Amino acid sequence: MEKILLVGIGDVGSHILEFAARDDNDYEWIIGDVNKEKAKYVSNNAQIGAIHHGKHPNFRPMKIDLFDIVKTTDLIKKEQPIAVINCSVLHTWHLIRQLPNDLYTKISSAGLGAWLPCQLTLAMNLAQAIKDSGIHPFYINTSLSCLTNPVMGKLGLAPTIGIGNVDLIAPAVLTYISQKTKLDRSSIEIYLVCHHQHWVYPREAGYKPGAPYFLKILADGKDVTNQFDTDEVMYNSVKLYAPGIAFTTVSASSTLKNLNALVKDQDLKTHSPGPNGLPGGYPVLLNGNGAEVNLPDEITLDDAIKMNEESGKLDSIQEIQDDGTVVFTDYAHKIMKEILGFNCKSFKPSESKDLALKQIACYKKLAEQHIKN
């Protein structure tokens, strides 16, 4: 029985387990969280619900503290999972929505990438543990993979693939076009290069338009892209989602789809962010060999990468240097300094943990001042 190691039982991790519990794939799931009780109860809930579907999944919850890289390494050596999924972050993005609207809008304008230390630290620790173990599982990172995967890639720790972002937009584009044209959704195919920024621009306050992307639309194998206003398609497709975090069910579906494609060697053509440490999202081919970018003839890989790097500048990140140093944009630095009291223009990956804890402390101080219990 193939083992899957899942670390982090937040919204996405919990949804993954609920879906996996009802799945036909016969995996043994090792379910880790820094809070063992939470891992146990979430696992119990998924297992109990699966009974109604005649399913009896093999779930094994345990405590995993990703700050302890040595213990995590030893666990991976012992269990030898075929795939590892990271769903852990130190500070989830939607907490800032608890702030008064004017304050939320100002901080949101910095971009989610401004919180990169909180998104990167645990994913990077898990990547280091995988490398130190000498085991070579597929590594699926769910934590802002448009931006975290390329940092890890610079360090020789690139995940196999990310989830969500472009893989939230791509199925929404299929749905939007189907609804607009009344075409059967299965007859529509797209090739989409885009960034996390394209997901948040229609949904969150303060994001600016103009991020580059590539979209090719086919219906019954025929290129029909010129029949659409692609800017309208991109924007309105994202707006099909309700506000809030209900979309995390789709993120979980994206994760399981990618997992099965890799482990079961499915040769699946799909979309996902951060393949092998690249920035942003791409059409990809997933199989037992890993992830491969799958672009149409109209765009080169170099051009696709440049598009996503430019889009990243509208999502807080000026550049990711060859040694993994992250340089924030001037606007992100200014907003985080003035509103949050967090003064950091750039950071090395080795500084990520300390900076993440500082960001969390700054946010807690701000929240105490402005959030009424």
Domain definitions of the chain by residue range? 2-162, 166-245+277-314, 317-370
Query: 372 pLDDT exceeds 80?
Result: no
Query: 93 pLDDT exceeds 90?
Result: no
Query: 106 pLDDT exceeds 90?
Result: yes
Query: 323 pLDDT exceeds 80?
Result: yes
When pLDDT is averaged across residues 89-114 and rounded to a whole number, the result is 92
Where does the pLDDT of residue 60 fall: very low under 50, low under 70, confident under 90, or very high at 90 and above? very high
Range from 33-37, 167-171, 202-206 carrying the lowest mean pLDDT:
202-206
pLDDT at 97: 87
When pLDDT is averaged across residues 210-234 and rounded to a whole number, the result is 98
Residues 6+ apart with CB under 8 A from 271: 166, 167, 169, 170, 192, 281, 282, 283, 284
What percent of the chain is modeled with pLDDT above 90? 96
DSSP for 319-331, please give it.
EE-TTS-EEE-HH
Q: What share of the chain is helix, strand, coil (3-state, %, to 5)?
A: 50, 20, 30
Range from 48-57, 94-103, 104-113, 207-216 carrying the lowest mean pLDDT:
94-103
For 128, list phi and psi in degrees, rounded to 5: -65, -40
Where does the pLDDT of residue 342 fall: very low under 50, low under 70, confident under 90, or very high at 90 and above? very high
Query: 373 pLDDT exceeds 70?
Result: no
First to last CA, the chain: 48
When pLDDT is averaged across residues 134-144 and rounded to a whole number, the result is 98
Mean pLDDT of the chain: 97
Where does the pLDDT of residue 334 fall: very low under 50, low under 70, confident under 90, or very high at 90 and above? very high
* Beta strand spans in 52-107 (E): 58-63, 83-86
Name the fold adopted by 2-162.
Rossmann fold (3.40.50)
Distances (CA, A) of 342 to 100, 230, 269, 346, 360: 19, 38, 41, 12, 10
Residues 6+ apart with CB under 8 A from 268: 257, 261, 285, 286, 287
pLDDT at 1: 86
What percent of the chain is modeled with pLDDT above 70? 100
pLDDT at 179: 97
Q: Which residue has the tokens 């696709």?
A: 304
Question: Coil, helix or strand for 372?
Answer: coil
Where does the pLDDT of residue 260 fall: very low under 50, low under 70, confident under 90, or very high at 90 and above? very high
Which amino acid is residue 147, in one-letter code?
A: L
Where does the pLDDT of residue 243 fall: very low under 50, low under 70, confident under 90, or very high at 90 and above? very high
CA angle 122, 128, 134 (to 5 degrees): 140
Determine the Cα–Cα distance for residues 46 and 246; give it in Å rounded to an integer.
Answer: 18
Determine the Cα–Cα distance for residues 199 and 165; give it in Å rounded to an integer.
Answer: 6
Question: Coil, helix or strand for 1?
Answer: coil
Where does the pLDDT of residue 371 fall: very low under 50, low under 70, confident under 90, or very high at 90 and above? confident
When pLDDT is averaged across residues 136-152 and rounded to a whole number, the result is 98
Query: 64 pLDDT exceeds 80?
Result: yes
Determine the Cα–Cα distance for residues 206 and 208; give it in Å rounded to an integer.
Answer: 6
When pLDDT is averaged across residues 238-251 and rounded to a whole number, the result is 97
